[in-house]
A and B are shown apart, each in its own frame.
Chain A
Amino acid sequence: MRNATSNKISSKAKNVFESACGIMLFVAVTISMGEIVSRVVFKTSIDLFFDFSVWITVWALLFMAGPLLPEGGHIGVDFLRTRFSGKLRWGMEIMIALVTLVYGAFITWGSIQFLQQLYQRQSIFPRSIPILKWIVELCVPIGMFIFTVYALICLIRAVRRKW
């Protein structure tokens, strides 16, 4: 009973999170549209119209990379894997989940280091309003951390499952 409730909550949380990513994407489209209106109607256009639509899209898509994992959203070839069963299949699934986990953790770790460098140098995107790079690129460690968490969930599931 308690399990069902917690499942419900977590699936609701996932929905909210996914919707938030979706809204971010829509905001990006609107900003891109905004440049057209601003330029054609108000005869003015600034560089950040272009950048913000890119950055917000990248944020939304990197955040979504994790939740995609358990649903098999990141495609791989399965013609070999599906021919096996039992212990061997179990081992293969664990190996896949493990490599994915290591990859996620590695990028998270690397991007934290890179962000530290950007922070120390106070690097900016030189635009009409200078934007600090580390803030924009924060999406990499956050997105890949979420990815790593989901990869861990996949690993646990793979270990428990019988083939």
Chain B
Amino acid sequence: TSPDQAYAKKLKTIKFIAVGAGEGQETSAETMALNPILGALDYRLRTYGPLKGKYELKWVDTLFPTADEGLSGVASGAGEMILTGPHYMEALEPAFKLVEAPGIFESWDHFRKTMNTPAWKAVHERMAKEKGITILQWVCNIGDYYLYTTKGPVVTPDDVKGQKIRYPGGEGFSKALKEMGTTPISLPYTEVVTALQTNMIDGLLTDMFGAIYFYELPRYTKYCVKAAWAIQPICFAVNTQWWESLPDGDRKAMQDVFDRIDVSQFFEKATQAIADDWAANPKTELITVSDAELNLWQKGMKAGAAKLLKDADPKLVEAIEASR
């Protein structure tokens, strides 16, 4: 063994659990968001005095088959760190169901304000204490959910009636889509591209980044209706037990990275740029809706979320309303 290797042996490995993306790739909004932050953390671990020589950051992308299982793995200590979102945390903490339900959060700012209310801070603490997941930072909104469809033009919910629309799970979406007279289909994401090509589905709900980088929708769906259904925030999370076992100084030095880097502005601009491309592309059509038309869409969305809001802890709902 060389001295380098002997030295490396002493490092404590921090495993960052990634799902479905190779190290250094930027093929999704998630990787675009986390690469600069993880890069900064890695640099700090290697060079910043108090941390130097103690930790190494390792990107682990082949262990867990799904983001859901990855989060579960971090909760029980199979990895230390992960980028995740309410969609997955719902498996651990039912309150997060509200975050990606249609018609509830209107913007990233609204969401961030809400997360800082005492009621929602309590949710965070409860999750850390009872479920083993501590959120270090809400990173950004990787894009609002829009409706993409092959059949159009779609301007109001009436135009989408009778279409088969794939939604990413969640009863709020399902109810809202039904309310608008469509057939909601919760097809596994792996089947989406094929289903679009064979017309098994007419359209889907997804975000701008997913539309471009994940599904390459311009090849399949012509229309994007620019009425936001829901936001899609993502966060850096760690295994609570590991995080609290760190010496205070080390923990603070790592937390600093997350507190200092804000990529959310970048994502707002990038999403807008993709929308502009969608409008400029002669093969695709970006449908912008007037306030009156947006109201019609929101009526359907709110109807979908009504039951969720009714069943939720009133304090959480109050906090959402108060933060508007």
Contacts and interface: CB of A to CB of B under 8 A. Distances in A.
A47 B169 contact: yes
B76 interface: yes
A87 B90 CA distance: 57
Interface stretch (A58-66, A94-102, A117-125): A117-125
Contact of B169 (A44, A121, A126): A126
Nearest to A35: B185
Interface residues of B, number: 24
Given A47-B169, A114-B76, A121-B132, A126 B184 contact: no
B248 interface: no
Given A121-B75, A121-B132, A127-B169, A133 B91 contact: yes
A41 B32 CA distance: 42
Interface residues of A, number: 19
Contact of A39 (B92, B169, B183): B183
Say what secondary structure dominates the interface of chain B. mixed
Contact of B72 (A39, A46, A123, A127): A123
A125 B186 contact: no
B174 A46 contact: yes
B91 A45 contact: no
B218 interface: no
A148 to B, nearest CB: 23
A124 B169 CA distance: 13
21 contacts: A39-B183, A39-B185, A43-B183, A45-B185, A45-B186, A47-B186, A50-B186, A50-B188, A114-B76, A117-B75, A117-B76, A121-B92, A123-B92, A123-B131, A124-B90, A124-B94, A125-B91, A126-B97, A126-B169, A126-B170, A130-B94
Given A44-B178, A114-B76, 17 more contacts: A39-B183, A43-B183, A44-B184, A45-B184, A46-B186, A47-B169, A50-B187, A117-B75, A121-B92, A123-B72, A123-B91, A125-B91, A126-B87, A126-B90, A126-B91, A126-B97, A128-B174
Interface of A: 39, 43-47, 50, 114, 117-118, 121, 123-128, 130, 133
